[in-house]
Structure 1
Amino acid sequence: MLSLNSATTTRTTHNDIGYVRPPPATASRCDSVDRVSLLPALTGTFGDAPDAVRVGDHATDFADLAGAAGALSRRIKGARSAAVVATSTVETVVAVLAGLAAGVPVVPIPPDAGTGERDHILRDSQADVLLNATTGPEGVEAVPTRPNDRAPWTEPPKGETALILYTSGTTGKPKGVPITSEAIAACLDGLAAAWDWTSDDRLVHALPLYHVHGLVLGVLGALRTGSRLHHTGKPRPDLLANANGSLYFAVPTIWHRVAAAPAEARKLSSARLLVSGSAALPAGVFTALRELTGQAPVERYGMTETLITVATRADGNRQPGAVGVPIKGVETRVDDTGALEVRGSTVFAGYLGRPDATEAAFTDDGWFRTGDVATIDADGVHRIIGRASTDLIKTGGYRVGAGEIEDALLTHPAVHEAAVVGRPDDDLGQRIVAYVVADAVSEETLVEHVATTLSAHKRPREVVFVEELPRNALGKIQKHKL
């Protein structure tokens, strides 16, 4: 395993050949489906059901969804790009599918986006129509859905940009990430193989519909595999538990809430697979879910720029903190600082209108720099230590991963959440500072706990107790706000 304190580690390349057991026979069914269509559920490949797609209290079938999207697509044909106010509704699903059918890049906008963020995304993407809205800013036409309109579904054109997703903007204004239909297909087929995800599944989640996890996996994934989809609207444990799914997607914040509701968590024991992503799942939540549901969750890793690249297989070894192995078509490597780089069929070609940022994001030999620090063991299993910019702390001549210290803090029974950062220090270069949500416990106790759990030089020099940690909508801790 790569050591973060090693200065001599050479690059090691990993792909999905050689160390991953072949999938069971049932998993290969994803390869037997006709993949000429990007979303074969909309062409009748998997049959239909009255509640094939349910969002909140609104249910529809695949055929009606295809017809509504086909009608809306004809009204926006020829637009430069189509922004969508991505509320958790069937209307959002229709709007996204309409853009795909029209061959118009779809630009999801968070429904709670401030005016500044919204206007930046609209200008940067050159959106000239706004869907799922009744009014738009100057120069952008609002195109509302007509509930009774229906027209045949049209297959999205190949080789074109399907989505323009925007980064979180933690290091400046959000950047546009063009995603092709081929990248979407490669990602979803890789995950279908890894998770034995088929039309027999019922997918349940409550994720936002403006990013990779909720939109690409949580909506387009269902329409590509043919699985039924139930978006519960709100991420409440009772709604998730009563949805009777076989496959569940959630972020750690939601899984933490589920684990804190034992009666609801136990109802998930009938599910086939519990998937966590978008941020690291705390070891305590991993253990609680395993005890309450009878199975350990699987974790996966990806970014807006790469879609999902690494995943724990359904038949793989499920370990706390491990995000698995590369999916088919993806390769990974780490450099001598532990920085993770990827390449493959799911990776974008470059930022929208930002050649400078694109050049900085790729190595000279074409690998994408994720900005994350990772370890890869002999079996190819990846563990994400954290962001290189905030989670690789250089203190007293050592390189220390913030995630390792956070995991150590979370093993103390009084600690509920933890985030570790490096602060400038005249003596050490950076000192380790821990922000902690905890019951009554002293700073000295937690410092000693880390020092005895890990090496002494990895102990926090300061512990700050807070009521909650700042997180974005996907549950990721926003360390720049600490």
Structure 2
Amino acid sequence: MDLLAGLSRPEMDAADAVRVGGDAMSGERLLGAAAAVAADVRGAGVVAVHATATLHTVVAVAGALLGGAAVVPLPPDSGPAEAGHILADSGATLLLSGAAEPPPTTLPVVPVDPSRTGTPGPDATGADDPALIMYTSGTTGAPKGVVLSHAAVAADLDALADAWAWTPADVLVHGLPLFHVHGLVLGVLGALRTGCRLHHTGRPHPRAYAAAGGTLYFGVPTVWSRVCADPAVAAALAGARLLVSGSAALPVPVFERLAALSGHRPVERYGMTETLITVSGRADGERRPGHVGLPLAGVATRVVDDEGHDLPRDGASIGELWVRGPMLFDGYLNRPEATAAARTADGWLRTGDIAAIGPDGWHRIVGRRSTDLIKSGGYRVGAGEVEDALLAHPAVREAAVVGTPHDDLGEQITAYVVADGVGGTELIDFVARTLSAHKRPREVRFVAELPRNAMGKVRKSLLGRG
């Protein structure tokens, strides 16, 4: 399975076909540099890549895949304990790094030099061979290695190319981290398989997006919110073909403001490390704020209750989303019990996400079952619905809703809000007028900012600490 097939496309002949920050190279040069890395790693089995936002990382990942190794992206901001766990647990035998000072490790460090070149050898991989081992944190325990095969990655990228009308004529622009699915799998391997030019802006600065002149843009909700904060930047994106948002729910007010300022109603999509992307809006279809679209080709979905029984597809009944399709992971590395717990005997993956499916198949993601399904006074309330209602208030800039212990209700709806010039009672009443009264927050706590991870997702486990 050649995930780099697009490098030989005529569109990749340009000297800046692949650009990361201030560095660029053609597809031919990238293939040659990757071949040199492939020679370094051939036979290594599993290699880690110090996944900085640099051209070195693109060369390293492409080279490791070309050499038949499974790639373990190592976040550049991981602390010693996390990095040590990832390197030891994955069984990596080498660390590829383009940094002058690579992370401290006992592994042999292979420097990555994009100026080197080599000759690609025969394809060293099979469809079922692991392409990536990506580490993801759950609610408890150390991060687990998610094993993704070449076939799974190819199936997902091809399904997205169909949904988004993604072709070699596109210029993909993004500035997302290169150690997550969004930035690395979609944002790098997607371009290299499709054969479209890639412009990675180093960081997702709105003005860098505006100056890039792309046709296809990837961003997380925080990026699109910041784009909307600068109307001139949003207007500069009017010439693009498609704006895509993912990695977290796009607040409805941001969707609507982005549409008003740029002329683009963004496509939203849903996925997780274990499944890659399984649900999305389409380039040739409608875009609904607050919804993530329809299953991709080859994907089946269902929403179930606590006993695993299917819930009605009425757009209102919320339960756990289960998915099945060719892009699902092979399992958690060296954790058969965790793998078995995540899957059913007939191949469904329990995502842990709460969703509703409408009569027409459109999906609405409510949040994580562990943090976003609040059971209050006998009602099941999705945190995302309450967050959207709060964000509709003009004074509210950010909002996160969680369930906190309550002697009578079991859990009460508690909102953490970043806002100016508004009181808690006013916001509670505002939600009660918008949603059912039982969905109103019982308490509003004002904060200066919400804790977020590198992809812009709110870290709800940190709310209320201190």
Calculate the TM-score normalised by the size of structure 1. Answer: 0.91
Q: 1:333, 1:340 within 8 Å by CA — same for their partners in 2?
A: yes
Matched, 1:180 2:149: yes
Q: CA deviation at 1:465?
A: 0.3
Q: CA deviation at 1:38?
A: 2.5
Q: Matched residues in 2 for 1:117 and 1:49: separation?
A: 39
Q: 1:44, 1:63 within 8 Å by CA — same for their partners in 2?
A: no
Partner of 1:39: 4
Partner of 2:333: 352
Partner of 2:13: 48
Matched, 1:217 2:186: yes
Q: 1:393, 1:402 within 8 Å by CA — same for their partners in 2?
A: yes
Report the more deviating stretch, 254-263 or 130-139: 130-139
Matched, 1:416 2:434: no
Q: Matched residues in 2 for 1:137 and 1:90: separation?
A: 21
Matched, 1:466 2:466: no
Q: 1:269, 1:294 within 8 Å by CA — same for their partners in 2?
A: yes
Q: 2:49, 2:60 within 8 Å by CA — same for their partners in 1?
A: yes
SS class of match (1:123): helix
1:59-458 alignment runs, 5 A limit: 59-132=24-97, 133=99, 135=102, 137=104, 139-154=106-121, 155-158=123-126, 159-337=128-306, 338-458=319-439
Deviation >3 Å, runs of 4+: 43-47, 133-139
Partner deviation per Cα, 1:217-239 (whole Å, 9 max, x = no partner): 00000011111100011211111
Q: CA deviation at 1:136?
A: 5.7
Q: 1:40, 1:46 within 8 Å by CA — same for their partners in 2?
A: no
Q: 1:415, 1:438 within 8 Å by CA — same for their partners in 2?
A: yes
Q: 2:304, 2:320 within 8 Å by CA — same for their partners in 1?
A: yes
Aligned length: 447
SS class of match (2:332): coil
Distance 1:156 1:377, change over 3 A: farther
Q: Matched residues in 2 for 1:156 and 1:407: separation?
A: 48
Q: Matched residues in 2 for 1:408 and 1:171: separation?
A: 30
Q: Matched residues in 2 for 1:136 and 1:373: separation?
A: 37
Q: Matched residues in 1 for 2:16 and 2:139: separation?
A: 39
Q: Matched residues in 2 for 1:79 and 1:105: separation?
A: 9
Q: CA deviation at 1:326?
A: 0.8
SS class of match (1:363): coil
Q: CA deviation at 1:156?
A: 4.8
Q: CA deviation at 1:79?
A: 1.3
Q: CA deviation at 1:153?
A: 2.5
Which of 1 and 2 has higher RCO (CA within 8 Å, sep 6+)? 1
Q: CA deviation at 1:171?
A: 2.6
Q: Matched residues in 2 for 1:320 and 1:445: separation?
A: 25
Q: 1:128, 1:139 within 8 Å by CA — same for their partners in 2?
A: no
Q: What letter corresponds to residue 470 of structure 1 in structure 2?
A: P
2:22 to 57, 62, 67: 57
Q: CA deviation at 1:422?
A: 0.4
Structure 1: tracts of 5 or more residues without a match: 1-35
Structure 2: tracts of 5 or more residues without a match: 307-318
Q: CA deviation at 1:45?
A: 6.2
Q: 1:194, 1:312 within 8 Å by CA — same for their partners in 2?
A: yes
Q: What letter corresponds to residue 456 of structure 1 in structure 2?
A: A
